[in-house]
Amino acid sequence: MATIDLVGVPIPIDLPEFRNDATLLKKIKQLESLIEIQYDMYDVEDALRALQNSRSSKNQQKLCEILNCCYPWTISECILSYVIVLYAKQFMSSEGRTSLARQVNAIFGNDKDKHDYTMDLRNKFYAHHEFEANRHQLFCLPNVPTPGMVRLNRPGQTTRTPMSMSVDPKKIDFCISKVQQHLQDRIDGLCTHIENDLTDDQLKILLETPKEELMSNHWQESSVNKRHPLSRRKT
């Protein structure tokens, strides 16, 4: 029985047979971007589950004891910010990676309001300050330090709203599911197109080139080719 390599080899897109095929390169770039987004959405899904578990009083107390936090909701707030920012990232324009910004209607249809709800948290709370949450009102102390004068009470009255206890996680979960399904459909379609449209020369390279050669020369995550995680991506 033949042994099947379940890892495979990198597609050598810098070789002429691939580099000169603009249509193939475009599909590969789209596919890689969509898979990167898919993994981000896996993280969002896991984090949302952690958020829901962290909102119970019992779990909040345990987390505070383990992490030495001052407020029971601090961890939930941190998780929610991660969920919202990472979700919204997929719909923001960026160089080098596909965005889902133009796919909103195709993904959500009549349920776009749930997506808007989630994006509003990013745009009006985490990126900007348009919600009433977390406001400060200045107070003063009359006749202090002497009659006829006032001294500002700088702490005043600050309202801190635990956003993690105010949001509707079901709406966010719905959005995640819709995006995941959309991504899977597009990924499946692109995989089929790429596999079926390879030329004879491209197939020959992939089938006959020794694995060691392809891994050594074309694997971006090899010890020789690995890029610094904070370097600016080119594709």
Q: Cβ distance 131 to 124 under 8 Å?
A: yes
How do residues 104-114 score in pLDDT, each as one tens digit? Answer: 999 999 999 99
Per mean pLDDT, which of 103-107, 129-133, 158-162 is the most reliable? 103-107
Tokens of 41: 């959405």
Instruction: Classify residue 103 by its DSSP letter.
Output: G
Residue 23 CB neighbour total at 10 angstroms:
10
H or E stretch covering 223: none
C-alpha closest to that of 119 among 95, 85, 164, 78: 85
Domain boundary assignment for the chain: 22-134+165-198
How do residues 167-209 score in pLDDT, each as one tens digit? Answer: 999 999 999 999 999 999 999 999 999 999 999 999 999 999 9
Tokens of 27: 């599909």
Angle 42-231-80 from CA coordinates, rounded to 5°: 35
Confidence of residue 142 (pLDDT cuts 50, 70, 90): very high
